[in-house]
Structure 1
Amino acid sequence: MTSSNAPSPPTDGDAEPQLAEAPRGEGGFHIGRQAFQAAKPQSALYIVSTPIGNLGDITVRALETLAACDLIACEDTRVTATLMQRFGLRTALTAYHEHNAARVRPRLLATLENGGSVALVSDAGTPLISDPGYRLVRDVVEAGHRVVPIPGASAPLAALVGAGLPSDTICFSGFLPHKGGQRRTRLGELARLPATLVIFESPRRLASSLADMADVLGADREAVVARELTKRFETFERGTLAELAERYADATVKGEIVVCIAPPGVMTEADPEDADALLTEALNDMKAAAAAKHVAQMTGVDRKTLYKRAMELKAQ
């Protein structure tokens, strides 16, 4: 992800120690003590996910792609070099970011035009998530070349699955505006969305952002602050927005932050009778499937469970 406040790159300090020297054959890489060779990929732009913290989260497919492609385009060659050294990757690197994109993009397109393969990586996580890399994808598609995603680590998804909030409908909003007035305006636009909000935040702005979230989105709205995901000091702090704002008001915070906020009206521990009452009311205007989805967003109860109960209520 490309941003001055994007999650910092993984380091060897957050992963297992290196166990072997890098193999030196073309298209080679190693995992621990075992060396591998990778087959040359078809000509395409490969969007390759890299770890967000723990280097052990790299996938075998990502390593094969990075080892055998002709060129790796990355935000910062020094950052990607850490990953390259850990797994014995020898592919040529070129810096590609928003400040040099216009100059470097023709080289990437020329590589594809000549039948080569290019891998695009970010400093951490999945490229194009909260970064401008989509422009390269659009140009590659317009030029008639293939784009192949190589999925893997993603900070928004890691935070979401650990948060314990409804995940059937989500809204990823990246980083909020830095200035308070603009931030509150953006939160106002998101306030009534029937979705779990997933937001990146800087440690130095976390306290002020949580205070704005509590004020604009609602003090009682459930939320989770996920910090240092996949790293040694990973934490999930849970509570209402008001509680979290108070908890972090005077705290010194370090690391990378993802904030997950429950949809409006969610009850974290819904009573079965409450769910029945909501389902009964929803069934007056909706079919069973729609009613189940609606109540799931409100309560956090599994939608399939609610659908089964809705059918039972209709049969009564």
Structure 2
Amino acid sequence: MERGRGVLYVVATPIGNLADISERARNTLNTVDLIAAEDTRESGRLLAHLGVSARLVSCHEHNAESCCARVLEALGEGRDVALVSDAGTPLVSDPGYELVSAARAADFSVVPVPGPSALICALSAAGLPSDRFVFLGFPPRGQSQRLELFESLAAEPGTLILYESGKRAVATLRDLAAVLGERRAVVARELTKRFETFLSATPAALAERLEDDAEQRLGELVILVEGQRGEAAPDRAEQERVLRILAEALPLRRAAALAAQITGAKTNALYRLGVELELGGKG
């Protein structure tokens, strides 16, 4: 008897505490024919804990094309496949987009099996506004790119949420402080694990705390910063317009300082914008 078309299940797995696996996720992993995992070693440990014996295939950003082909072939043969990440909900700052997109384009059913997510876990307990938020994933590693990203979101009223490695957390918090100033911020670490911690302060104070305490830099962190309060700051187009006018008659540093008074933006950010726009002819 010919089998029907397979189903791709997008299965959330625990971010730390293995007891957070849902009954539905456990049952799905036990019944599918194939499990596509970001890291087969990491997922293999979870599956061994759950007593799951389904075949694992590697599916990460470096083999997206071959993984898609293999999974689509399995779905076409009527076999069900589960997509999992190392921890949490697949596609949330993890590879897998190409596979889900390809499966939908080929008209296969894609079914989410919801569960843990580090960003939602952190937001739920951080004490920052949760009615609106922007998830940034992992910020750029280069400082200039990070600063540009944060400056583009300075007027965002929603809570900003990003992931960061412990190795880069201090630098990222300092860049957040330079751009966003004295806002409330939270660093969440070891979520759902034994040494789970939430540190609350300004980005600058949190940078100092993490620099002084190496333990707080272990693993990957979730950093949350409150959004712009009150009247939103002018957008980049308005900042550029004001800066161009002032830079025609003034040295760039003076033009940036006056533009900051007019627009409410940071002087250093406006100076960098002027350099980027090559407005520094007058010094």
Matched, 1:82 2:45: yes
| Matching of residue 234 in structure 1 with residue 196 in structure 2 | yes
Q: Structure 1 residues 73 and 51 mapped into 2: Cα distance closer, same or farther (>3 Å)? A: same
Matched with 2:264 is none
The answer as to whether partners of 1:171 and 1:195 remain within 8 angstroms in 2 is yes
1:157 positional shift: 0.4
Q: 1: CA distance between counterparts of 2:139 and 2:212? A: 21
Deviation at 1:246, TM superposition (A): 2.5
- For 1:264, the equivalent position in structure 2 comes to 228
TM (norm. structure 1) is 0.69
Alignment correspondent of 2:157: 194
CA spacing shift, 1:88–1:132, aligned 2, 3 Å? closer
5+ residue gaps, structure 1, are 1-40, 267-316
Would you say the 8 A contact 2:189–2:219 is kept in 1?
A: yes
Q: CA deviation at 1:255?
A: 2.1
CA distance in structure 1 between the aligned counterparts of 2:150 and 2:32, rounded to whole angstroms: 42
* Contact residue 6 and residue 80 of structure 2 kept, 8 A: yes
Counterpart-to-counterpart distance in 2, 1:68 and 1:107: 19
Matched, 1:247 2:247: no
Whole-angstrom distance in 2 between the partners of 1:104 and 1:245: 40
Q: Please tell me whether residue 47 in structure 1 is matched to residue 32 in structure 2.
A: no
Quote the offset at 1:134 in angstroms.
1.2
Q: Tell whether the 8 Å contact from 2:5 to 2:77 is kept in structure 1 after alignment.
A: no
- How far does residue 69 in structure 1 lie from its aligned partner after superposition? 0.5
Give the one of 36, 51, 61 matched to 1:73: 36
Aligned-residue offset at 1:162: 0.8
When structure 1 is superposed on structure 2, of 244-253 and 205-214 the one drifting more is 244-253
In structure 2, the residue matched to 1:282 is: none
How far, CA to CA, are the matches of 2:212 and 2:128 in structure 1?
A: 26
Equivalent residue number for residue 9 of structure 1: none
Q: Which is helix-richer, 1 or 2?
A: 2
Contact 2:184 2:226 in 1 (8 A): yes
Query: Counterpart in 2 of 1:209?
Result: 172
Q: Matches of 1:143 and 1:108 in 2, distance apart?
A: 12
Q: Is the 8 A contact 2:191 2:197 kept in 1?
A: yes
Aligned to 1:57: 20
SS in structure 2 of the partner of residue 158 of structure 1 = helix
Cα distance in structure 1, aligned partners of 2:155 and 2:94: 26
**1:103-118 aligned within 5 A:** 103-118=66-81
Within 1, Cα distance between the matches of 2:28 and 2:20? Answer: 15
1:126 alignment partner, one of 64, 77, 89: 89
- Cα separation, 2, equivalents of 1:201 and 1:221: 19
| Aligned with residue 97 of structure 1, among 43, 54, 60 | 60
Taking structure 2 as the reference length, the TM-score comes to: 0.77
Query: For residues 210 and 73 of structure 2, what CA distance do their matches in structure 1 show?
Result: 50
CA distance, structure 2, for counterparts of residue 198 and residue 262 of structure 1: 9
Amino acid at match of 2:229: G
The gaps in structure 2 that reach 5 residues or longer are: 231-283
Output the amino acid matched with 1:59.
S
Per-residue Cα deviation, 1:6-47 (whole angstroms, up to 9, x for no partner): xxxxxxxxxxxxxxxxxxxxxxxxxxxxxxxxxxx9831100
Pairwise CA RMSD of aligned residues?
1.5
Count of aligned pairs: 225
Q: By how many angstroms is 1:132 displaced?
A: 3.2
Paired with 1:106 and 1:176, the residues of 2 have a C-alpha distance of: 30
Q: State, as a whole percentage, how many aligned pairs show the same letter.
A: 51
Note if contact 2:33-2:54 (Cα within 8 Å) is conserved in structure 1.
yes
Note the alpha carbon deviations across 1:138-174, whole angstroms, 9 max, x for none.
1111111100000001000010001011000000000
